[in-house]
Amino acid sequence: MDLPIRLAKDSKTPIYHQIEEQVKALIAGGHLQAGTALPSIRALSKELEISVITTRRAYLNLEQQGFIKTTQGKGTFVAEVEADKKKEVTVAAIYQALEKGIETGLRHDYSIEQIEEVFTEIIAKLKEKGEKANGELD
């Protein structure tokens, strides 16, 4: 089967790491259930237009971390992942996304305080929208 993985070519995150993160997110989000067959290393490499060396590295790391398992001659499958571990992945993804935003601010010479202000503003806007949406529902 194919996986909905998109590689950001311009990203500084290594490609194998991007694959790992996205597969973990698919598993943590319940989009890939335990026992689901994953594409072979060769097939995924063709799909993503990368070397099997890179794909193998991602699969090895995922296997070591217990997210997938390979059975000789049968292929690679999604492993049973505990709820705690899934939660960890989600939390890590949120942290990472926020960190990235903060880094963007710092790169544009914003101070931490200024970034905090932006953050508060965004949250405030979202809350306002949420209240409106709720209001309409009522």
Contacting positions for other proteins (CB under 8 A): 9-10, 15, 40, 42-43, 45-46, 49-54
Q: How far is the CB of 15 from other proteins (least distance, A)?
A: 6
Q: How far is the CB of 53 from other proteins (least distance, A)?
A: 5
Taking the least distance from each CB to other proteins, the nearer of 23 and 48 is: 48
Inter-axis angle of helices 52-64 and 41-48, nearest 10: 120
C-alpha separations of 19 from 56, 84, 96, 111, 137 in Å: 10, 21, 15, 33, 39
Which of these, 47, 41, 27, 48, lies nearest to 93 by C-alpha position? Answer: 27
Taking the least distance from each CB to other proteins, the nearer of 16 and 67 is: 16
Taking the least distance from each CB to other proteins, the nearer of 42 and 87 is: 42
Q: How far is the CB of 47 from other proteins (least distance, A)?
A: 9
